[in-house]
Amino acid sequence: MSGEIIKVSRNTEQAPINALSSQSVAFSHYNNLSAQLPLDPQSGEIVVGDVRDQAKQCLNNIKAIVESVGHVMDDVVKINVFVKSMNDLAAVNEVYNAYFDTQLPTRTVVEVAALPHGDALIQMDALISNGEGTKPQAPCDLIKLSRNSDSAPVSQWSTQTVAFSHYNNIGAQLPICPTTGKIVDGGIKAQTAQCLRNIKTIMESIDVPFDDIVKANIYLTDLADLEAVNQVYTTFFPDSSIARTVGYMPARSVIKANGLPMGALVQIDTAISHGDGTPHQEIEDRHGIVIRTNNTVDAPICPLSTQTVAFSHYNHLTAQLPVKTHGGALVEGGVTEQAKQCLNNIKAIVESISHNMDDIVKINIQLTDMADLAVIDTIYAGFFSGELPARTVIGVSDIPLGAAVQIDAVVSNGEGTPPTH
């Protein structure tokens, strides 16, 4: 394992156990949870009932995992909600807020084409704060900072930005005008610009520059819109003169959504570097901790993203398509060859920064055919020699380049980025 800080992977029998993932993987001051289906942990079957019952079971499973590692639900920083039908969101919201006593986490909601269990209507994963750190870090009583700005859309179901330690997570921003509360007029370009303006406004409200974004997730209802999205995207990145000098682009994932809240065409969420930390950490100049970027010629290079962006004790990878390193073409063969290529690309990136696959704490897999998951699982575990990462799998109706699979990852970064203490 790279670095001295220890990755801690844990399972509890109070939540469903999956042989191909760890329920929770803690590293330093964050803990990554695998996606939870509405499965009863004793029977292993989908709970009987409607989407409200299924949403409760997902949240009960998350709560059981959170409590099994000595935490509470108010330690949750971010939740991703994947629904089979956006029409179910109102029913999900009826039960959602009851699981949090005070500060709501950030949230991203996406309608997906399929989930790993055919009878599931919903699936959720989560990221939680981990103030005690992982060995040999000493426990510290860090404060979670949840903040909203009136200059960006405010939701009763989530907080705009939740910072903990040296990271800050911004919930999915829809193309909503904060004044009217409605989707902006215009097509995909207008909507993309509004999403990014909302993110920028939130960041400015907490005195964080736009180029502190280390990872962006773009959800589109039509991948044919991606070229137009990219035209707008490159007017926002790089933002500062320093970033323009080095051509900085965050890591990025583009994910096909079957539907988005309010009928939007696009939504974007982000992970932000937070160099000043949260109390009681020593306040530093946010540029005192360096964002470290890296591309390797041993994996596909994209001008619109950086393969891997490290900050503090985490490293965020751009989603990998099953593309050959040179030439940019899809690998020949079926889903087996495509999954191997995605994982080999990830492995090449991870090894280029002197890490190994067992340093991965979270894997996200998108498939165009959920029936292919069994095939992927036969090769997946072979890329890891230790405890498996947390994992989220969703079905999508399309993937860029017409691929059958796309995979992204979050990697532990025990050595940190300068100046480390």
Cα 297 to Cα 287: distance, rounded to the nearest angstrom: 28
Which residues neighbour 359 within 8 Å (Cβ) at sequence distance 6 or greater?
1, 2, 7, 350, 411, 412, 413, 414
Residue 288 has pLDDT above 80, yes or no: no
Cα 361 to Cα 245: distance, rounded to the nearest angstrom: 32
Residue 284 has pLDDT above 70, yes or no: no
Same fold yes or no, 1-140 and 291-414: yes
- What pLDDT score does 1 carry? 37
Q: Which two tokens stand for residue 147?
A: 């903040």
Residue 90 has pLDDT above 90, yes or no: yes
Write the pLDDT tens digit of every residue in 47-66.
Answer: 999 999 999 999 999 999 99
141-289 to CATH, choices 3.30.2020.30, 3.20.20.10, 3.30.1330.40, 2.40.160.20? 3.30.1330.40
Question: Mean pLDDT over all residues of the chain?
Answer: 95
Cα 322 to Cα 345: distance, rounded to the nearest angstrom: 8
Closest CA to 161 of 200, 110, 218: 200
- What pLDDT score does 283 carry? 64
To the nearest 10 degrees (0 to 180), the angle between helices 335-352 and 373-380 is 40
Among 19-28, 174-183, 216-225, 319-328, whose mean pLDDT is lowest? 319-328
Which phi and psi (to 5°) does residue 379 adopt? -105, -20
pLDDT over 90, % of the chain = 92
Query: Domain ranges in the chain?
Result: 1-140, 141-289, 291-414
Cα 5 to Cα 303: distance, rounded to the nearest angstrom: 33
Write the pLDDT tens digit of every residue in 99-118.
Answer: 999 889 999 999 999 999 99
Query: Given this structure, which CATH class describes domain 1-140?
Result: alpha beta
Residue 132 has pLDDT above 80, yes or no: yes
Model confidence band, residue 326 (pLDDT cutoffs 50, 70, 90): confident
Write the pLDDT tens digit of every residue in 390-407.
Answer: 999 999 999 999 999 999
Cα 183 to Cα 345: distance, rounded to the nearest angstrom: 37
291-414 to CATH, choices 3.10.290.10, 3.30.1330.40, 3.30.710.10, 3.40.50.720? 3.30.1330.40
Mean pLDDT of 343-355: 98
Residue appearing with tokens 């800050």: 168
Cα 215 to Cα 291: distance, rounded to the nearest angstrom: 12
Residue 3 has pLDDT above 90, yes or no: no
Cα 133 to Cα 337: distance, rounded to the nearest angstrom: 38
Model confidence band, residue 70 (pLDDT cutoffs 50, 70, 90): very high
pLDDT over 70, % of the chain = 97
